[in-house]
Amino acid sequence: MKVAFYPGCVSKGACPELYVSAKAIAGPLGLQLEELTQAPCTGAGVLSEQNPELGDALNGLTLAMAEAEGADLMTICSTCQGVLSQHNHGLTNDKSRLDRANATIADQGFRYGGTTKVKHLLWMLFEDIGIDRVAAAIKRKLTGLKIAPFYGCYILRPVEALGLRERPERKTYLEKLIAMLGAEPVEYKGSTKCCGFPMATFNREKSLAMGGNHILEAKEKGADLLVTPCPLCHLNLDAQQPDAARVLKKEIDVPIFHLPQLLGLAFGMDPSELRLDHHVVSTKGALEKVELKV
């Protein structure tokens, strides 16, 4: 299945392990990734907040690029998913906004007709690729691991733009997937909460406390690791974890996996091929539980 692949800035910046692992699992899932190399950053909501029209134009351009590719746009980041969904929702429901965005991108040779579907890899697994195909690709059951899902705000809220009114099951895909891969999903309050990343530059200590508290709650409930479909959550939960532990004055030490890394492991791939050795918090302990080494 062909998809217009939108990897997002972070998978090509501070989380290269996400990009590498997403490319690695495309084959077993039968995904043909047509990467939108010329698509700009979504602005992560930060640009749209100060200049909504700029947000419409930049994201309208990306949506037009996917439309020209004739495929659904696939994200691997909850934040990209949220911002693109919100702009897509706005542009397709308000003709004056669409016309304005199109007027801005017209002389660049682009026009958005309003037909692109924006879908995170997590949604595609269930809605497009199909769970049968995912199940068929499993070569190594992750039995014995207790995994806490961590969604990231923008794949859950706001519900209208993300189509969660029509498809409430999107709120439970991670738990279902974890169980399908043979592991045990951990139920805890923090799974749908904020990692604190958006505040990281404004109020660092509170941001660290926010993320750290959720990991500690999952750990308390027995989690061996957290899995997230969002690299920004990953940065706050993994890269900042030592600092969060300092702020909360508690030992945390829980590894955070990207969604494609978890899939790749279940598909029988080598942990180093998925760059599980490129994390700030070591993944060693969790991998040993399924008799793997990094």
Partner 1 sequence: MQFTIEVGRYDPEGHYADDAVEGQPFPAPWDHSPVRRYQTYTVDLPEHAVVLDALIAVREYQDQSLVVRCACRSAICGSCAMWVNGHAHLACKSKLQEFTKDGKTRVEAPASMPLIRDLVCDMTPFWEKHLAVKPWLQNKQPVPPPNQEYRVPNASMEELIQEVSCISCGACLMDCESFAVNPDFLGPQALAQAYRYAGDPRDAETKERLAEYSKPGGIWDCTHCYECVTQCPKGVAPLDQILKLRKMAVDAGFTNNAGTRHADAFAESVRESGRLNELTLMPKSVGFFNIVEQIKTLPSAFNLLRAGKLPPLIHKKIPGVNRIKTIFERVGGRFK
* Residues engaged in binding partner 1 (CB under 8 A): 9-10, 12-17, 37-41, 43-47, 49-51, 53-54, 57-58, 61, 104-105, 107-108, 153-154, 156-159, 188-190, 193-194, 196, 198-204, 206-207, 209-210, 213, 216-217, 220, 239-240, 242-243, 248, 278-280
Instruction: Pick the closer one to partner 1 by CB: 68 or 138.
Output: 68
Angstrom distance (rounded) from CA 62 to CA 39: 5
Q: In the complex, what is the shortest distance from the CB of residue 116 to partner 1, in angstroms, rounded to a whole number?
A: 18
Q: In the complex, what is the shortest distance from the CB of residue 128 to partner 1, in angstroms, rounded to a whole number?
A: 25
Nearest to 114 by CA among 52, 64, 158: 64
Instruction: Pick the closer one to partner 1 by CB: 126 or 154.
Output: 154
Q: Taking a C-beta distance cutoff of 8 angstroms, is the pair 41, 87 a contact?
A: no
Instruction: Pick the closer one to partner 1 by CB: 29 or 261.
Output: 261
Nearest to 155 by CA among 82, 233, 76: 82
Q: In the complex, what is the shortest distance from the CB of residue 130 to partner 1, in angstroms, rounded to a whole number?
A: 27
Angstrom distance (rounded) from CA 165 to CA 180: 25
Q: In the complex, what is the shortest distance from the CB of residue 189 to partner 1, in angstroms, rounded to a whole number?
A: 6
Instruction: Pick the closer one to partner 1 by CB: 101 or 137.
Output: 101
Instruction: Pick the closer one to partner 1 by CB: 137 or 216.
Output: 216
- Cα three-residue angle 155-160-163, rounded to 5 degrees: 65
Instruction: Pick the closer one to partner 1 by CB: 143 or 282.
Output: 282
Angstrom distance (rounded) from CA 242 to CA 220: 18
Which residue do the tokens 């351009």 mark?
61
| CA 10 remoteness from chain centre | 11
b/e per residue 201-211 (b: at least 16 CB within 10 A) = eeeeeebbebb
Q: In the complex, what is the shortest distance from the CB of residue 131 to partner 1, in angstroms, rounded to a whole number?
A: 23
Q: In the complex, what is the shortest distance from the CB of residue 47 to partner 1, in angstroms, rounded to a whole number?
A: 6
- Cα three-residue angle 24-26-30, rounded to 5 degrees: 145
Angstrom distance (rounded) from CA 236 to CA 120: 20
Nearest to 118 by CA among 96, 95, 99, 90: 90
Q: In the complex, what is the shortest distance from the CB of residue 86 to partner 1, in angstroms, rounded to a whole number?
A: 10
> What letter would DSSP give residue 154?
G
Is the torsion defined by CA of 210, 230, 250, 221 positive or negative?
Answer: positive
Instruction: Pick the closer one to partner 1 by CB: 61 or 129.
Output: 61
Q: In the complex, what is the shortest distance from the CB of residue 54 to partner 1, in angstroms, rounded to a whole number?
A: 5
- Maximum Cα–Cα distance across the chain: 57
Instruction: Pick the closer one to partner 1 by CB: 138 or 209.
Output: 209
